[in-house]
Structure 1
């Protein structure tokens, strides 16, 4: 992809420029509200519900919350990843000499088991660029089929990160293509931040000029950190706070733990059902999240909380989302530390909270077990 040294500065203005560049290629996804989920979130949990959790014995928090769901499950390829992929491709096309030196024929390369694979394949196809995707042998069959359906050449590798990286290196050497990482690049981060730009604008469009309410915060899931760091850039200087959400299962909450110690955790091994969040946060996202302190906090939730939230979204919002998508909402519903923060700072008025639903590419073969 484009040389990182030539990337625009990591600022809100650059996110705005990225949005103009990719606007012809992406959907302006809807923002939904849901009175039932607002009521549930604004109802204190019982002491019985807190028993057995880390908050056992504490007085339940009493926040007032109104949700604004940014539905990237309706984005192209069914996930926010299309934003970063299209931005990376459009920036690459602007690189001097790239076309003349056979760039489109050599193509782009990445390793991914899911949404980034599909997003890059689609973005490349629409610009007549070859796409070479390394997918682990244990990738879900529907995701492999979708990636091939977008015209990509798929190479299988072992499931571990070293095996994937070795396979990608071999394809890069053979094709002379450009590597497009899923999150650790400025162009990807700026593209992902465009979802938060839209959310802020859509909130303003839905409130009247006399309405004193404002969007207090946005919470997004955090895997590699591309979306969270892009959201932080999009909100810088606006007064909108940014929070991250992670699963706690088997150490998947690496970004949360890293913020506590001040050091980025470089490796994660977890089988959380939120499969899009199994990666450690990348170096460039970390520089925005931690070093620049643009993310106010990161909170985690259990597998059971994720499953309960997934079922609530299916039953109450009536949309298809994947487990990774609902981790931010799960924090607002079940993490007492976050809920206490909202209670303290929001008071009786409460918070209008933006929640990014990141995608809807759920494996239908296992859906029943997820919401049972």
Structure 2
């Protein structure tokens, strides 16, 4: 397999005209102030199917022969790739079969089905679904559509780089999420080639979730390396081994790869929701998280790719709670109180006097960590940030209590 060239990416853009939307490029005043340079958000969360994946999927499927189209296409995915393949196949009049693990989130399953795919639920994890998809391909002769390790997929994703240059012609730095590497590889190939024509360079920073960061280890080893991933909220980029072709491109074309924690990602998701009014999935927020963490230097106009917005509302509720806690805007404290009337009212008054708000209280007389004459309470308080949270804690300490932050 060979890396896509600029002519191929430009041809892909023509194929995608009328299929993939040219998504908005929004300036972020908040992130610009934080970085010390203009920051723009490339909003692929507003793309059709909610993510950039339709670019690569449609580009690959549109190149299939009549015989291949007749036999249909197959993919294994629990998220954005599934929806991209289903949408592209339906647009091109092909059958698509998507293999998903049994525990796939209902909104993703239903969306993939609504885009016209036949769904097969197999196994408890992605690897089981992938094995079933491969067996189906061998049995039926259908075409397997990989999520990132294919030149046509990378070529399609590269169209995003061309759009970025059209919308921010003087861009100096692009920050992009990396999972298997298809998006970063395509974007980097397009940006490098077009910048070379203009006689300049563009800095490209890749971002991975620190619990699933296969690229740093692989770059150190000089070849794609399989790592042991840990659970992460950024499941959309939780890939244990880089794709072979994306790795070759990224090794030469991406300047730096940084990692962010789940708490970083949760904080970024809150900022995107509150400041930019964007609903973003955790994997789509990692570029923003890297800027907020100070991992990106200010070289000039900077574009953060917001790669997707497909998030289960129930999971979003959990991530928002984690983001508020990580930002110390949601404080949970445990206290030991004398077991006599009026103590809870005293605590509530202390919190109120500091202009904070109690949102939940758990009271028990059966906690082993307190003395037999005390009771234990857990209070959840909303604050305006770290300084305000510390004022609440100091007020409790001045009143003679010993708050334990949970």
Question: Per-residue deviation at 1:81?
Answer: 0.3
Q: Match of 1:71?
A: 43
SS at match of 2:154: helix
- For 1:81 and 1:23, the matched residues in 2 are separated by 15
Q: 1:114 aligned to 2:79? A: yes
Cα drift, residue 267 of structure 1:
4.1
Per the alignment, residue 129 of structure 2 pairs with 164
Q: CA deviation at 1:169?
A: 2.1
State the 1:263 CA deviation: 3.1
Inter-partner Cα distance in structure 2 for 1:368 and 1:120 = 28
CA deviations 1:48-86 (Å, max 9, x no partner) are xxxxxxxxxxxxxxxx23211110011110000010111
1:277 match:
237
CA contact (8 A) 2:12 2:159 kept: yes
State the distance in 1 between where 2:138 and 2:152 align: 23
TM-score normalised according to structure 2 size: 0.74
1:87 correspondence with 2:59: yes
Q: Any conservation in 2 of the 1:235–1:241 contact (CA below 8 Å)? A: no
Match of 1:180 among 135, 139, 145: 145
Compare 114-123 and 14-23 and name the one that shifted more: 14-23
Which residue of structure 1 lines up, in the alignment, with residue 308 of structure 2? 359
Give the structure 2 partner of residue 236 of structure 1: 192
Partner of residue 45, structure 1: none
Deviations 1:239-273 (CA, angstroms, capped at 9, x unpaired): 11211001112xx1111232234332224432110
Q: Which has the higher strand share?
A: 2
Shift, 1:161, TM fit: 4.7
Give the 5 Å matches for 1:2-21: 10-21=4-15
Name the structure 1 match of 2:250.
289
Return the offset for 1:158: 1.5
Aligned length: 314
Contact 2:76 2:133 in 1 (8 A): yes
Name the counterpart of 1:61.
none
Task: Name the residue aligned to 1:124.
Answer: 89
1:18 shift after superposition = 1.0
Structure 1 stretches lacking a partner, 5+ long: 43-63, 93-97, 205-213
2:7 match: secondary structure: helix
Deviation at 1:203, TM superposition (A): 1.0
- The answer as to whether partners of 2:213 and 2:229 remain within 8 angstroms in 1 is no
Answer yes or no: is 1:370 the counterpart of 2:329: no
After superposition, the C-alpha distances for 1:4-54 in whole angstroms (9 at most, x for unaligned) are 5xx7x5222221111111112110101000212211x23xxxxxxxxxxxx
Alignment of 1:1-372 (within 5 A): 10-39=4-33, 41-42=34-35, 64-92=36-64, 98-99=65-66, 101=67, 103-204=68-169, 214-237=170-193, 238=195, 239-249=201-211, 252-279=212-239, 280-290=241-251, 293-335=252-294, 338-339=295-296, 342=297, 346=299, 351-372=300-321
* Structure 2 SS opposite 1:32: strand
Residues 184-193 or 255-264, more deviating: 255-264
CA distance in 2, matches of 1:319, 1:188: 26
**Runs of 4+ with deviation above 4 angstroms:** none
Gaps of 5+ in 2: 196-200, 322-406
Tell me the SS of whatever aligns to 1:242.
strand
Q: Calculate the TM-score normalised by the size of structure 1.
A: 0.81
Give the secondary structure class of the aligned counterpart of 1:365: helix
CA-CA distance at 1:138 after TM superposition: 1.3
For the pair shown, the structure with the greater C-alpha radius of gyration is 2
